[in-house]
Amino acid sequence: MVSPAIRVPPSAANRALNLLRTVQYTHPPSCPCHGNPSHHHHHRSPTLSDHVRRHMATPVDPSRQKEYAFEMAASSIRFGPGATKEVGMDFANMRAKRVCIVTDKNVAKLDAMKQAVEGLSREGIEFTVFDKVRVEPKDYSIKEAIAFAQPYKPDAFLAVGGGSVIDTAKLMNLYNTYPEADFLDFVNAPLGKGLPVDRALKPLVAVPTTAGTGSETTGTAIFDLVSKKAKTGIAHRNLKPTLGICDPINTRTMPSAVHASSGLDVLCHSLESWTAIPYNERTPRPTNPINRPAYQGANPISDIFSLQALRSTVKYLPRAVRDPGDSEAQEQMLLAATLAGVGFGNAGVHLCHGMSYPISSQNPGYKHAGYDVDHPIIPHGVSVAVTAPAVFRFTAASNPDRHLAAAEAFGVDISTVKRESAGEVLGEALARFLSDLGDQPRGLKDLGFKASDVEGLVEGTIPQKRVLMLSPNLSQELEAEKAELRGLLEQSLDY
Amino acid sequence: MVSPAIRVPPSAANRALNLLRTVQYTHPPSCPCHGNPSHHHHHRSPTLSDHVRRHMATPVDPSRQKEYAFEMAASSIRFGPGATKEVGMDFANMRAKRVCIVTDKNVAKLDAMKQAVEGLSREGIEFTVFDKVRVEPKDYSIKEAIAFAQPYKPDAFLAVGGGSVIDTAKLMNLYNTYPEADFLDFVNAPLGKGLPVDRALKPLVAVPTTAGTGSETTGTAIFDLVSKKAKTGIAHRNLKPTLGICDPINTRTMPSAVHASSGLDVLCHSLESWTAIPYNERTPRPTNPINRPAYQGANPISDIFSLQALRSTVKYLPRAVRDPGDSEAQEQMLLAATLAGVGFGNAGVHLCHGMSYPISSQNPGYKHAGYDVDHPIIPHGVSVAVTAPAVFRFTAASNPDRHLAAAEAFGVDISTVKRESAGEVLGEALARFLSDLGDQPRGLKDLGFKASDVEGLVEGTIPQKRVLMLSPNLSQELEAEKAELRGLLEQSLDY
């Protein structure tokens, strides 16, 4: 593993290069060379020669500097059937003495919780259980959870559940480390202040019981900010769990409908992160690395995860939905959810997710089949997938090759497809995939939306800046952006 | 990102499943179901149905239990030309106040160090510099480094250099956290005690200046244990750096010969981890997750990294060696080195690395061209690659499909190749690749070894248990194992 770090004396060429570098790094406080808007490098990393070339260009407005680096961070992931029972030893190894277990009323009854509780008990670790996580959390449900943890003073957290549980646990951990903070301090801008997480949080182990959110690997937590009538969240890589324990036994309790909708979330995580703008097209470049967003645009490492997750989802989701006894498919979907989590957790999502938030919250009264709840519900995965055919038809022009590669993942023979047709072909493949999956709406109309609801959905999407900024092909000017969103939502009414 | 964690009431089938699970998990202290040696799952994850089937088999010897889970852990990685200068802000963000910078005499003069030092100074962070890292470290050079750090009481470490530097910094960090420990406590068994790292180490940021070791992402540190005349190391995932800053500007100082040999290390990291035994064939299964080795065998996540790194290396290494001005190729090789690091750092390496240690240390006097040193040297990458054609001819029978996929990465049209020929085809592709790269030995004879030296190399390989245990197709019985190693080394004399 060890390579020698031997160096030869600098040649004349090296000396010249060193000189160039010296020049380059004397621009205080940091090199402004990445902001020249005349340089567009689609899905190519900037190279030193680009770097040097840019320096020879005229100075540019620093506020328009483009990003020049990306950062990959993910929780450690342990994967294996039965691995849940190891969690007590993990906390013992971390020397945790008081653990706050976070779950919801339904998961509390499942075997995953039994294994977790037995694991902690076996190690003699004290714990308390908060089982009041709200599915699709709201700010007040999160604040209640935070208040629960405060007097207990846990030295570690354990989340057992789906994305809502894991997201809530992340925020219990965050605000217990910043007891003096205002709730909005960390909430994504522009709704909140979007402050970075600059203190070390307590260890958090996440045990997912759904194969969808990938929350066990990411630094993102999503909730409704009731006062602003907006779905938003808190996102910083330092919020990510210490360890995700992905135990395929735990996802076998998902009903088929939950398999389908959480799998559609995986599908969109992978497709959106794969097609998000490249990291080096994002502006502005952070002046401090702690401000580099987790949702930073597609990059060469997130790409690997996103494409692999897409391929697995296309292959295994239909099997997992069709046959709850297909343990290979269930296991592969849990893995795909985690891989997609690493992908979008470091690249971001864009239009499907941006529009899904108002679609879910402005639900005209739709209740998805197979969901045993006493109120209307458009599952998150359904609300992201319903616009997907229109979205990828629209974004394809930004990078036809990536959209063709995605179509190929759906089994399309792309050898004879023209690049201009990439969007059409991918949109069609997606529509067919959704239709073949069964029990999926064929557009917003099936969810009860009318043409007259589109304007409200457009208005509800506009505040989702954090994801919209990663949308390829979307106009930056407000009215043009609205017109584009309107077009996407209208095309998504039925298909 | 949030999927609902809604559950339906358990059906009769679910209840039956729950019962099975209850049975399954009442085997104290943990489920012994993975050790049935009659089950061989080559490169397939165990599924619940396997799990249940195994329970129906007869009880087995617990010491032969097979692994059932894998764990992926990697340092956060920041990648971008110029990212080195951010490192001062990183330490400020971690609230570090006294940083120990670790480097070697040569790297100390390079721009990477200048950027690092300026970065810390700009933030007003106090630091000291240890620049006496030995290339290819020995235990005494590591102990000297540890002793240097002790009185300074750093609250963080910064490594700027190649694998030797980063590995040394990891051990300075380790033993400064365990000041009372004996050096052998953490050294890999059987030479040392192989204790797990169960305390939180100080933050370590690694800035690689070579594109080879991937040490910036791994929990491995390699050195010579002089008293035992053996190359060994310390490996635990908790030893991994907090952050690796991969700045392509820093690898531009590598001479062409270093590019080539460090790139060959990347090649073998990716090929060996891709072909290592699957994690669920490894024995014994750890009874505590902290004892799950980082070198755990191939798994579905390491696979993604290893195969991608292999493809990139085949594509970009020849360009990087041929043209030191090909910045795209250099950048891609740095990325490939890091990806391969994540791959082998979580899967392990096997025969090429196992045999490379005695090849390097029993060097009959060979001095590799392009290395400006005053003593004989077989660069690490050269010593791993020299046996590669023979190794993969030998291992192919264990998993022909993987070896064919590797051959395909070298550009071989595998559509008409029979599975029995996988080893031959991959071995030939490798030999051709090495030959085309230029300035590479055509076997051990070119390094000065004679047929009579083979026995010494066999004896020097046998203690490398940690990597040999991951070798597919290698006999477990000592004499048979020696015969196989002898065969590999004889075939590697010339080709």
pLDDT single digits (tens) B143-183: 999 999 999 999 999 999 999 999 999 999 999 999 999 99
- Decide: helix, strand or coil at residue A275: helix
A229 — pLDDT class (breaks 50, 70, 90): confident
Nearest CA to CA, how far is A174 from chain B (Å)?
Answer: 16
Tokens coding B348:
């392990």
Nearest to B412 by CA among B388, B440, B431, B439: B431
Q: Does B105 touch chain A (CB under 8 A)?
A: no
User: Which residues of B are less than 8 Å from A163 in CB distance?
Assistant: 1-3, 5
Q: How does residue B273 score in pLDDT terms, banded at 50, 70 and 90? A: very high
Is the peptide bond between B190 and the residue preceding it cis, with omega within 30 degrees of 0? yes
Average pLDDT over residues B412-429: 97
Residue A193 in this model has a pLDDT that exceeds 80: yes
* Binding-face residues of A in 136-165 toward B, CB within 8 A: 136-137, 161-165
Q: Does A383 touch chain B (CB under 8 A)?
A: no
Closest Cα in chain A to B338 = A301
Between positions 429 and 488 of B, the ones with CB within 8 A of A are none
DSSP B355-392: HHHHHHHT--S-B-TT---SS-B--HHHHHHTTHHHHH
The pLDDT tens digits of the residues spanning A350-359 come to 999 999 999 9
Contact between A186 and A235 under an 8 Å Cβ cutoff? The reply is no
Radius of gyration, CA atoms only, chain A: 23
When pLDDT is averaged across residues B443-468 and rounded to a whole number, the result is 94
pLDDT given for residue A234 in this prediction: 96
Residue B165: both structure tokens together: 């530097």
pLDDT on residue A162: 94
Distance of CA A249 to the CA centre of its chain: 24
Q: Which residues of A touch B89 (CB under 8 A)?
A: 288-290
Average pLDDT, chain A: 88
- Is pLDDT of B313 > 70? yes
pLDDT at B22 over 80: no
Residue range B331-356: average pLDDT?
97
CA distances from A346 to A193, A216, A219, A312 (A): 21, 13, 9, 19
Q: Given this model, what pLDDT does residue B113 score? A: 98
Q: Pick the residue with more confidence: B49 or A195?
A: A195
Longest dimension (CA), chain B: 76
How sure is the predictor about A60, in pLDDT bands with cuts at 50, 70 and 90?
low
Cα B27 from chain centre: 35
Q: What is the pLDDT of residues A164-183, one digit of tens each?
A: 999 999 999 999 999 999 99
Residue A253 confidence (pLDDT)? 82
Q: Walk me through the domains of chain A, giving residue ranges and CATH numbers.
A: 76-252 (3.40.50.1970), 254-491 (1.20.1090.10)
**Across residues A192-197, what is the average pLDDT?**
95
Element (H, E) at B77: strand B76-79
Comparing CB atoms, the residue among B81, B290, B304 nearest residue A308 is: B304
Residues paired with residue B222 on neighbouring β-strands, in sequence order: B233
Is B331 exposed, middle or buried (CB count within 10 Å of its CB: 0-12, 13-18, 19+)?
Answer: buried
**Facing residue for A289 by CB, picked from B86, B265, B269:** B86
CB contact under 8 A, B79 and A71: yes
pLDDT: which is higher, B232 or A433 = A433
Does the beta carbon of A69 lie under 8 angstroms from any beta carbon of chain B?
yes
Other beta carbons within 10 Å of A47:
20
A52 near B CB under 8 A: no
More reliable by pLDDT, A162 or A371: A162
Is residue B99 within 8 angstroms of chain A, CB to CB? no
Closest residue by Cα to residue A271 from A279, A283, A263: A263
- Residues of B within 8 A of A141 (CB-CB) are none
- DSSP classification of residue A356: H
Per-residue confidence (pLDDT) for residue B36, from 0 to 100: 36
How far is B19 from B495, CA to CA, in rounded Å? 60
Distance set, CA A47 to CA A289, B56, B77 (Å): 20, 58, 18
pLDDT tens-digit readout, A99-129: 999 999 999 999 999 999 999 999 999 999 9
Show the beta-strand stretches assigned E in A393-493. Answer: none
Q: Is some CB atom of chain A closer than 8 A to the CB atom of B258?
A: yes
Contact indicator for B254, B266 with CB cutoff of 8 Å: no
Given a cut of 80, whether residue B261 has pLDDT beyond it is yes
Contact B265 A1 (CB under 8 A): yes
| Longest alpha-carbon distance in chain A | 76
Give the distance, in angstroms, between the CA of residue A481 and the centroid of all CA atoms in the same chain: 23
**Per the CB < 8 Å rule, is B299 touching A79?**
yes
* The pairing of beta strand B220-225 with beta strand B230-235: antiparallel
Counting one residue from A and one from B, how many pairs have CB atoms under 8 Å apart?
Answer: 340
C-alpha separations of A7 from A185, A438, B162, B462 in Å: 48, 62, 11, 33
Mean pLDDT, residues A319-338: 95
Evaluate whether B380 touches B261 at the Cβ level (below 8 Å): yes
Mark which residues 290-349 of A lie under 8 Å from B by CB.
290, 299-301, 304-305, 308, 324-325, 327-328, 330-331, 335, 339, 344, 349
Q: Which residue of B has its CA nearest to A340?
A: B1
Q: Token pair of A179, please?
A: 């007891």
- Host H or E run for residue A77: strand A76-79
Lowest mean pLDDT among A35-39, B185-189, B284-288, B405-409: A35-39
